[in-house]
Amino acid sequence: MREPNVQELKHIFRILLDTYGPQHWWPASTRFEIAIGAILVQNTMWRNVKISIKNLEKAGLLEPYRMYVASSEKIANAIKTSGFPRLKTDRLRNFLKFFENFSFDFDEMDKLETDSLRKSLLSVNGIGKETADSLLLYIFNRPTLIVDAYTKRFFLRLGYSPLSFKEKGKSQLMNALKNDPSELGEFHALVVQHSKAYCRTKPLCDKCPLSSICEFGGAYYD
Ligand code: SF4
């Protein structure tokens, strides 16, 4: 097991970027669409969420106040491809109720310091750490590290200690990316891409561009 190392992390970032190119995340045209996508993507694949977002758009619901006043049935019907439509409708409603406190204006939320913004987001039933950090990073352009299942699996396989995801390790990981939200956002997108391409549940280590620096190099399986 090893601890995060700034030079090595930069090297990993460079290899991933050279391999996959910029990922252009988050794939959405408005900040509201990012928020809705981040809630809908919980426990499902992005391709399912894309269909739901299209359905919401067709139903005229991809606007905060219109979704706020819409019936639960109408929302649930539009988002059913994302799975758990009733639960996710409740989560969207919880977010909208919270958002109403800011007059449905992300610029108002932007006035909060990062720590209190994160705490506020986490107070919404249905927004956990991963979703809150996605919103912080991709909507509010705040430096944070998204620690999702892909990220944990990837770093553990590389040989990093689980402590890498605790506060001290996280700040080292973030330092390696200059605490720059655009690099942190790109890094997260690249880790997700790499986890789908090579570092899968059953990893394709023999073809992986990181095999020479990966401690487990394919010997590790979930
Ligand atoms: S060598 Fe294997 S375990 Fe390591 S990052 Fe690549 S695919 Fe994942």
Mark whether 71 and 126 lie in a shared domain: yes
- pTM exceeds cut of 0.75: yes
Domain that holds residue 106: 31-138
Q: Is 199 in the pocket of ligand 1 (CB under 6 A)?
A: yes
Q: What is the largest CA-CA distance in the chain?
A: 54
Q: Buried b / exposed e across 153-169, counting CB within 10 Å, b at 16+? A: bbbbbbebeeebbeeeb
Residue 7: CB atoms within 10 A of its CB come to: 8
Kindly state whether residues 51 and 117 are assigned to the same domain.
Answer: yes
Convert the pLDDT of each residue in 9-68 to its tens digit.
Answer: 889 999 999 999 999 999 899 999 999 999 999 999 999 999 999 999 999 999 999 999
Indicate whether residue 203 lines ligand 1 (CB < 6 A). Answer: yes
Ligand 1 in contact with 218 (CB < 6 A)? yes
Confidence label for 220 from pLDDT (cuts 50, 70 and 90): very low
- Give yes or no for residue 211 CB within 6 A of ligand 1: yes
| Residue that is last in its domain, among 88, 115, 138 | 138
How many domains would you assign to the chain? Answer: 2
Residue 57: name the closest of 23, 29, 84 by CA. 29
- Phi then psi dihedrals of residue 135, to 5 deg: -65, -45
Indicate if ligand 1 lies below 6 Å from the C-beta of 216: yes
pLDDT tens digits, one per residue of 96-129:
999 999 999 999 999 999 999 999 999 999 999 9
Ligand 1 centroid to residue 41 C-alpha, Å: 25
Co-location of 18 and 95 in the same domain: no
Is residue 105 domain-resident? yes
For the CA of 210, the closest atom of ligand 1 is 6
Statement to judge: residues 129 and 182 lie in one domain:
no
Domain boundary at 138, 167, 195, which?
Answer: 138
How much distance in Å is there from the Cα of 214 to the middle of ligand 1?
6
Distance CA 210, CA 154 (A): 11
CATH number at residue 85: 1.10.340.30
**Same structural domain for residues 53 and 15?**
no
Angle at 55 between CA 96 and CA 195, to 5 degrees: 85
Instruction: Please report the pLDDT score of residue 222 as a whole number.
Output: 41
Q: What is the mean pLDDT of residues 78-93?
A: 98
153 Cβ inside 6 Å of ligand 1: no
Buried-state track 182-203, b at ≥16 Cβ within 10 A, e below 16: ebbbbbbbbbbbbbeebbeeeb
Answer whether residue 218 is part of any domain.
Answer: no
The response to whether residue 159 sits with its C-beta less than 6 Å from ligand 1 reads no
Which atom of ligand 1 approaches the CA of 158 most closely? 4
